[in-house]
Chains A and B, each alone.
Chain A
């Protein structure tokens, strides 16, 4: 069936909504990346199997939904029973039958599967009452975890494609651009450039061909917001991209998805086919003159291809190397034509803005940073997961209210934002408002939204070393400051971490960083030294401890630490079992002995010891 006008789309929405209402209950199984990894698919299959066996009044398999990421990955696999919003955590296949009996057939709850904030304290039934969710504001992620991953029925029933229909039938391209500009929407990919202004610039260029591209090359370590959206709500991305295309006058779009996201490719492809079947993509969308075709372009696993000019080269089939952007890609982009490139989250936000209006959108966030931003909260934090908060929320609120604080109540040390281009912020910056400008000013950046929380057991020299090592590997190698400069910066951090550095080396690092920043060709090199500079700025003491005292305060840098077994040892032999070099000896029930000459400081014993019997010094 092809939809020929907006009325038919409205009718279809009503039809799908009515179909939804047939069921008194819905079972949502989170099939986001986190939950899938902890076995969500098996649970969903079990649900299907058991539901088939037991016929339940007012319920069918259709009311079982495999949703995108619900957010609270730490507690996965998650199962949610609607309309109550009962939130079951860490569900196992053996729990399925009980859930069906109690929560689907009857209105009871399986108390032991409910979430409890402090491990064994009070149980909370509804997810809306959990702190993790209570403090979030969801716009881009609003549908995630509520609808089937790639089913256009659910999307249309939930009001999907109405914004596109409104745009095509009732608005001109300029009106849309005005609305987006008014909303203050800034690119969620990291740089935070106004999406409306970008579109307007593209539209102004004289050209017969224009391209719109969605950047789904989310390469920052620890970031998975865009992945969750592409997998869990692919139609939102398609709708946003189609609106952008209509606004700037493009008929050809690409979604660039990184190689590591095969499920995103599958789901987006399915979504494109579904939308084309309904005539929501393809020729003469909704019977109008607007035609728009989307193709998926798969990356080959290079971090640098998230950079706009490298991405466009990659889409065109060339080697993904950035070019100097003295002429911007919005003027001369893919195949040298004007090209709009927006991030997944930005595009997923666009339909909501058109639906609810720029004024509504501006109410969230701060004046220059409107709306919300999604983050993936990872590291030494209690509530690992995917969140979305209003701009201007403080780091403290994110880490303590939503994130639940640090694992084991250890002291907070730093939070790394913005991925390898970002920086580490210390506790003195915890009350920093999270928005594009404040983060940049503090020496970090928003980036695409990875947020890595670190506790006192994290060595900042090691962190800088890690990120620089990542960038040395991921630099495209085209320009010298990035290729050789980052390599030398990495070599210098290695020198510090091994206790071979002098204080003069710190100055050398700062000087070289400055040169890499002004000398590099693209954003990767220009922001590459950020992790080093921000740790030097906020954690200089730690560098000095490595240099002057030959000591790693966090007990991480291998060359500077020794492991010792203390009197707390119960003789459980766990460390003996993991020690690859047989450096630990001893009998069961007796305090073990560690031979320093054989120890390679791998830290395996420290990791397995449950009695705090391994000292690091």
Chain B
């Protein structure tokens, strides 16, 4: 166990934990747009930056991204120091210049008092803030279907060769976790389209509800030993089946153990 001070409060944390998790546990609001517990911390958006110092540093302090900074005994953290706030404002301002139409950015920037960008607006700025969460989650899922392409200001997220990604199973994890809801997908007539690839959606053999894609189900059966017939029915119909089965037992026994 280590003891550190966050905004004047002494808190405990376990060795190896990152500052951001401790800060969040203490219910202190620190923004972060590229962070997700499912993947390794990345440090791309820099919004979770905090000021750190130590008694022995004699007033000298450093600015670190809390998502990546391991806790340490005697650390003194200020999550809203003036420089930190200024940096967050600058980052949001830069985001606002690049993604002028992004509602999530506009909202967060507003919270920090940034309503108009001081910088040159990027004319064709889309809503992708290049946090890389989609690609990192895709890697974590084991698909590696998309990645960042290029570098610098022209970097983007794309499948290999910008063609329909062969390894994508249409699990939608990328789209579900995009902090700015930028990744588009379409569901139409039993077909899911994402990254220019079409997937057949499985339908419940009882009620006809659409569930996951066939590719994803095949992947789960083959890689995770889930019997394929589990995917024939939707969750609601599964529950009804269970209730009916239990009802049959209850008909000749007076109680049911769950």
Contact = CB atoms under 8 A, between A and B. Distances in A.
Interface of A: 302, 304, 319, 321, 323-324, 326-327, 472-481, 483-485, 487-488, 491-492, 508, 511-512, 515, 518-521
Interface string B32-54: 00000000001111100100000
Contact of A476 (B42, B43, B129, B152): B152
B148 A477 contact: yes
Contact of A326 (B68, B118, B152, B153): B68
A492 B95 CA distance: 16
B44 to A, nearest CB: 5
A480 to B, nearest CB: 5
B46 A472 contact: no
B152 A477 contact: yes
Nearest to A488: B119
B78 interface: no
A325 to B, nearest CB: 10
Given A481-B46, A491-B119, A491-B120, A472 B68 contact: no
B151 A477 contact: yes
A150 B132 CA distance: 44
15 contacts: A327-B70, A472-B153, A475-B152, A478-B44, A479-B43, A480-B45, A480-B46, A480-B91, A481-B90, A484-B94, A484-B97, A491-B120, A512-B119, A519-B90, A520-B46
B46 A521 contact: yes
B153 A484 contact: yes
Contacts of B64: 324, 326
Interface residues of B, number: 35
A83 to B, nearest CB: 51
A474 B119 contact: no
Nearest to A325: B68
Given A475-B153, A491-B119, A519 B148 contact: no
Nearest to A495: B120
A140 to B, nearest CB: 31
A520 B64 CA distance: 10
A327 B65 CA distance: 13
Contacts of B182: none
A79 B147 CA distance: 51
Contact of B153 (A302, A487, A518): A487
B70 A477 contact: no
Nearest to A515: B90
Contacts of B154: 477
Nearest to B70: A326
B87 interface: yes
A483 B70 contact: no
Given A519-B91, A521-B46, A477 B150 contact: yes
Interface string B89-131: 0110011011000000000000000000011100000000110
A412 B119 CA distance: 35
B143 interface: no
A324 B155 CA distance: 20
B69 interface: yes
B83 interface: yes
Nearest to A302: B151
A327 B16 CA distance: 12
Given A319-B147, A324-B65, A520-B46, 8 more contacts: A321-B148, A477-B148, A480-B91, A481-B94, A484-B95, A488-B94, A491-B119, A521-B44
Interface of B: 42-46, 49, 63-65, 68-70, 83, 86-87, 90-91, 94-95, 97-98, 118-120, 129-130, 132, 147-148, 150-155
Contacts of B49: 519
A476 to B, nearest CB: 5
A487 B121 CA distance: 11
Contacts of A474: 151-152
Given A326-B64, A480-B94, A481-B94, A475 B46 contact: no
A477 B131 CA distance: 10
B213 to A, nearest CB: 27
B120 A488 contact: yes
A484 B148 CA distance: 16
B102 to A, nearest CB: 13
A401 B73 CA distance: 54
Given A319-B148, A488-B97, A483 B132 contact: no
Chain B interface SS verdict (over half): mixed
A321 B152 CA distance: 11
Given A478-B132, A479-B44, A488-B120, A512 B90 contact: yes
A501 to B, nearest CB: 11
A491 B97 CA distance: 12
Max chain A C-beta neighbours (<10 A), residue from B70, B97, B151: B151
Nearest to A481: B46
Max chain A C-beta neighbours (<10 A), residue from B44, B83, B95: B44
Contact of A515 (B45, B65, B86, B129): B86
A266 B242 CA distance: 69
Given A518-B83, A519-B63, A483 B155 contact: yes
A519 B44 contact: no
A475 B150 CA distance: 10
Contacts of B65: 324, 521
Contacts of A321: 148
A519 B87 contact: yes
Nearest to B131: A480
Contacts of B87: 481, 515, 518-519
A300 to B, nearest CB: 11
Max chain A C-beta neighbours (<10 A), residue from B94, B129, B130, B132: B94
Contact of A324 (B68, B91, B118): B68
Contacts of B132: 478
Nearest to A518: B63
A484 B98 contact: yes
Contact of A473 (B43, B118, B152): B152
Nearest to B92: A480
Nearest to A320: B151
B100 to A, nearest CB: 13
Max chain B C-beta neighbours (<10 A), residue from A326, A475, A484, A512: A484
A281 to B, nearest CB: 34
A445 B148 CA distance: 32
A519 B46 contact: yes
Contacts of B43: 323-324, 478-479, 521
Contact of A485 (B42, B45, B94): B94
Contacts of B118: 508
Contact of B95 (A323, A480, A491): A480
Contacts of B83: 518
Contact of B46 (A302, A473, A479, A512): A479
A474 to B, nearest CB: 7
Nearest to A520: B46
Contacts of B94: 480-481, 484-485, 488
Nearest to B47: A480
A484 B42 CA distance: 17
A512 B129 CA distance: 19
A394 B14 CA distance: 52
Nearest to B94: A484
A180 B45 CA distance: 40
Max chain B C-beta neighbours (<10 A), residue from A304, A323, A476, A478: A478
